[in-house]
Amino acid sequence: MPSNKLTQVALRSALPRDKPYKLGDGDGLYLLINPSGSRWWRLKYHFEAREKLLSLGVYPHVTLQHARSLRDDAKRAIVNGVDPSVKKQIEKSSHSNTFEAIAREWLTLQEKKLAAATFAKAVWTFETLVFPYIGSRPIAKLGPVDVLKVLRRIEERGIHETAHRIGLASVVPRCFAMRCRPGARSAT
């Protein structure tokens, strides 16, 4: 089946109908146009003798060129024996397991236990002193050296007590403990 059949003009001129319909680009890539007017890029592919469907995003946020690039990436993954849907789920879950996501979950659990001023200081501490350095990193890839670097930066600012509370008074270690029990996170 030939690929790259769609043009920008065809995409812009596609209007919603009473029922959803598809504009095919080839190699399993198509744009699904819904009656509501939403336009979703989809990729139909086969993996381990099963037909599967992968959502690639919404047009025009995902352009035609980007959708084709995502299709090509997915096809390469299939050739390498990797299911693109599973790969996407793993990538998505790794974003929810960043240090910031886990720490904010821990903070939410502490909000009822702490006085308002104490809670506000804890949020400020994380947002100002910790998240800029390790907040976006997957918690599974953080180690003691990474935390130590953050603590050293805090100490260099002359905030020794805050560094002690973050590192030794089990604020950061409790966030790591939550990582160890992702199915049963508790208010440790």
The CATH homologous superfamily to which domain 97-184 belongs is Tyrosine recombinase, N-terminal domain (1.10.150.130)
For the question of whether the overall pTM of this predicted structure is more than 0.75, the answer is no
Q: State the alpha helices, DSSP H only, in the chain.
A: 8-13, 64-79, 84-96, 99-111, 116-125, 144-156, 160-167, 171-180
Domains 8-93 and 97-184 share a fold: no
Query: Which residue, 27, 48, 29, 50, is CA-closest to 40?
Result: 29
Tokens of 33: 């146009």
CATH code for residues 8-93 = 3.30.160.390
Q: Which residues pair with 33 in a beta bridge?
A: 21, 39
pLDDT in tens, 121-164: 888 888 988 889 888 888 878 888 888 888 888 888 888 777 66
Q: Is there a contact between 131 and 103 (Cβ–Cβ < 8 Å)?
A: yes
> Which sequence spans correspond to the domains of the chain?
8-93, 97-184
CA distances from 84 to 37, 49, 99 (A): 27, 14, 25
Q: Which residue has the higher pLDDT, 69 or 169?
A: 69
Q: Where residue 169 falls among pLDDT bands split at 50, 70, 90?
A: very low
Q: What is the mean pLDDT of the chain?
A: 83
Q: Is pLDDT at 56 greater than 60 in this prediction? A: yes
Confidence (pLDDT) at 64: 95
Average pLDDT over residues 1-23: 90
Confidence (pLDDT) at 186: 41
Q: Is pLDDT at 187 greater than 50 in this prediction? A: no
Distance CA 101, CA 139 (A): 9
